[in-house]
Amino acid sequence: MPQPIDADGNLIPLDEEGHPIDESLVQEVELSRLNVARSPDKVTDRALAEALTALNAATDVTTDAAGRLVVLIDGEWKTIDSPIENMALYIDLMADGTIDGLTNTVVTSKFANLVDGQMTAADLQSAAVLLAATADKFTTLTLDAVMYVNNLLGVNDPAAGEYIDLTSVSYDRETIFGDVTAEVLIDPEGDGTWTVQTVNIFDAVFDGEDASGTAAAGYTLAVDDSRAVINYIHEYEVPAATTN
């Protein structure tokens, strides 16, 4: 059974029956789409295989404004945006800092951290994006929600007192998103006239307001910032061109 944590990420002491001694410290956790963490292993395994098939078939790779992987396959760009596929990649990466089965040098040459066999700060930033892409884009993610999902996914093992080491995280919003742009639909005058414009994500999503954090708090901020960007670029997405 996952052990609850307080607003500061500290474990809440439990009594002999597993109930919090001080229930006032307990936070309600809104999992929403993160309930996919309860999916059977066979579902996760299939999703991982599908994600790896796309990544290993790519002839080019980049990231979108939120940091999600975008691959070029047969001349078409495709975002790895399936929640269950992102969750499967997250579980694999968080196990040891490597996505097993990722063999395409087109991808690994640009994202060497995904196959270097060690858990690094770069891996944790990549993992934050993967977890954000798993979550409901409309729901703000709290520290408690992130830690609880890590418990459900087996990234943490509270019973054994084993938790993913997040002490190397040092996240700064402006550093990650300060120069990121995206092409979106904007109604600048609020009169119903929508035009395609390139916007700066740091300004458009965060109103130019910086935020930073370290360790678990910084990791949670990284996850939620990426989620907020996913929400924004989805809300103002430019429709794909259609042909008659």
pLDDT tens for residues 132-144? 999 888 889 889 8
- How high is the pLDDT of residue 188? 84
pLDDT at 1: 43
Residue 42 lies in a domain: yes
Q: Is residue 13 part of a domain?
A: no
Spatial separation of the C-alpha atoms in residues 222 and 228, rounded to whole Å = 10
* Strand ranges across the sheet with 60-63: 60-63, 69-73, 76-79
Q: What's the confidence (pLDDT) of residue 23?
A: 62
Q: Where are the beta strands (DSSP E) in 9-156?
A: 60-63, 69-73, 76-79
Separation between Cα atoms, residue 147 and residue 155, nearest integer Å: 9
pLDDT confidence of residue 159: 86
Q: Residue 107 sits in which domain range?
A: 23-235
The separation between the first and the last C-alpha atoms of the chain, rounded to the nearest angstrom, is 55
Query: What pLDDT, on a 0 to 100 scale, did the predictor assign at position 243?
Result: 38
Q: Which of 200, 225, 204, 234 is nearest to 67 (CA)?
A: 225
Chain position carrying tokens 């059974």: 1
Q: How does pLDDT run across 92-144, given as a tens digit for each residue?
A: 999 999 999 999 999 999 999 999 999 999 999 999 999 999 988 888 988 98
Residue pair 38/79 in contact (Cβ under 8 Å)? The answer is no
Residue 17 lies in a domain: no
How many domains does one find in the chain?
1
Q: What is the pLDDT of residue 40?
A: 60
**pLDDT by 10s per residue, the chain, length 244:** 444 555 555 566 666 655 566 666 555 545 454 555 555 677 889 999 999 999 999 999 999 999 999 999 999 999 999 999 999 999 999 999 999 999 999 999 999 999 999 999 999 999 999 999 998 888 898 898 898 889 888 899 988 889 999 999 999 999 999 999 999 999 888 888 999 999 999 999 999 999 999 999 999 999 999 999 999 999 999 987 643 3
d(CA 125, CA 17): 37
Q: How many residues does the chain have?
A: 244
Q: How many CB atoms lie within 10 A of CB 188?
A: 9
What pLDDT sits at residue 8? Answer: 53
Q: Is the residue at 208 inside a domain?
A: yes
- Answer yes or no: is 76 within a domain: yes
- Asked, for residue 9, whether it belongs to a domain, the answer is no
The answer to whether residue 49 is domain-embedded is yes
Rounded to 10°, the helix 215-235/143-153 angle is 100
What one-character-per-residue DSSP string does 63-120 give?
E-TT--EEEEETTEEEE---HHHHHHHHHHHHHHS--TT---HHHHTT-GGGGSSS--
Amino acid at 138: F
C-alpha torsion 204→206→207→211, nearest 10: -150
pLDDT on residue 110: 97
- Please indicate, yes or no, if residue 87 is contained in any of the structural domains: yes
